[in-house]
């Protein structure tokens, strides 16, 4: 099966943002994030959108696997945006990226702090941001994986959702074409303004707000949104707690069972 990507149209839309921008489509690679990190360490620092039709060693947050194979199950879009950045503050970048994704795709999608897109109580997309030092700046690699078609839930920690549940005609090329420009614009806006101006927009999409949440470090409480830096606010018995550690995982508490 040959997948018809809209690479030239994406390049035409995004290149005014970054004149040296390019789009690459690869049939197979271990991980788009890993590849762009390798390139950055080897001195390649131009803005690039790298798409893989199949990933053999995709990665998610906290070292989790992210399986992707458009040729096999037809169901997952995986790509990474690599770009040199010099923001005043990196805090909240994953939230800004997630907001760009959900706002460009569907009103029913929600954001689970700090980097997941959920539909109802199921995960639809994930975001992984890594950086490499490049002199006085840093090269940011923003990896995004989106479930397009329903997929097998075997070995997945969270049941998967699929974008085709909301957009039946969705295909990987169409989704990429819809997301690419808003993503590029959001990254550039973040560099200039940081996360603070996006706080209210994030609140409107916040999956955890008002929900009982359980943190991997044992803390439980009620989600109270995020602060101006993107830190998660959790109301606990000891007061309001700010969570900004990338090593802490937060999940909605499971619904209570009725005997």
Catalytic residues: 61, 123, 251
Residue 258 is classified by DSSP as P
Q: How far apart are CA 116 and CA 62, in angstroms?
A: 13
Q: What does 42-110 look like in DSSP terms, one character per residue?
A: TT--S-EEEEESEESS-B-GGG-B--EETTTTS-EEEEEEEEEE--S--TTHHHHHHHHHHHHH-TT-E
Contacts of residue 141, Cβ cutoff 8 Å, sequence gap at least 6: 33, 36, 37, 40, 80, 81, 82, 129, 130, 131, 132
Residues, the chain: 259
Q: How far apart are CA 242 and CA 38, in angstroms?
A: 34
Cβ atoms < 10 Å from Cβ of 12 = 12
- The three-class DSSP label of residue 238 is coil
Phi, psi of 33 (to 5 degrees): -65, -45
| Alpha carbon separation from 19 to 4, 11, 46, 132, 147 (Å, rounded) | 24, 10, 9, 21, 30
| Alpha carbon separation from 242 to 10, 245, 248 (Å, rounded) | 38, 9, 11
């Amino acid at each position: 099966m040959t997948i018809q990507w809209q690479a030239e149209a994406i390049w035409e839309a995004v290149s005014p943002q970054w004149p040296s921008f390019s789009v690459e489509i690869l049939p197979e690679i271990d991980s788009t994030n890993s590849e762009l990190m390798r390139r950055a360490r080897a001195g390649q620092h131009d803005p690039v959108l790298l798409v893989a039709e199949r990933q053999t060693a995709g990665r998610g947050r906290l070292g989790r696997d992210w399986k992707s194979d458009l040729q096999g199950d037809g169901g997952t879009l995986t790509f990474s945006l690599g770009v040199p950045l010099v923001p005043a503050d990196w805090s909240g970048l994953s939230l800004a990226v997630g907001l760009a994704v959900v706002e460009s795709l569907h009103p029913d999608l929600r954001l689970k702090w700090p980097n997941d897109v959920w539909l109802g109580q199921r995960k639809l997309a994930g975001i992984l941001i890594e950086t490499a030092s490049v002199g006085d700046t840093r090269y940011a690699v923003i990896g995004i994986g989106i479930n397009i078609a329903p997929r097998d839930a075997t070995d997945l920690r969270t049941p998967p959702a699929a974008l085709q549940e909301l957009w039946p005609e969705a295909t990987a090329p169409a989704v990429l074409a819809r997301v690419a420009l808003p993503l590029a614009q959001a990254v550039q806006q973040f560099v200039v303004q940081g996360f603070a101006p996006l706080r209210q927009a994030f609140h409107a999409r916040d999956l955890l707000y008002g929900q009982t949440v359980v943190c991997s470090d044992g803390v439980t409480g009620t989600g109270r949104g995020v602060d101006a830096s993107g830190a998660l606010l959790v109301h606990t018995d000891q007061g309001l707690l700010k969570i900004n550690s990338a090593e802490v995982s937060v999940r909605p508490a499971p619904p209570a069972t009725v005997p």
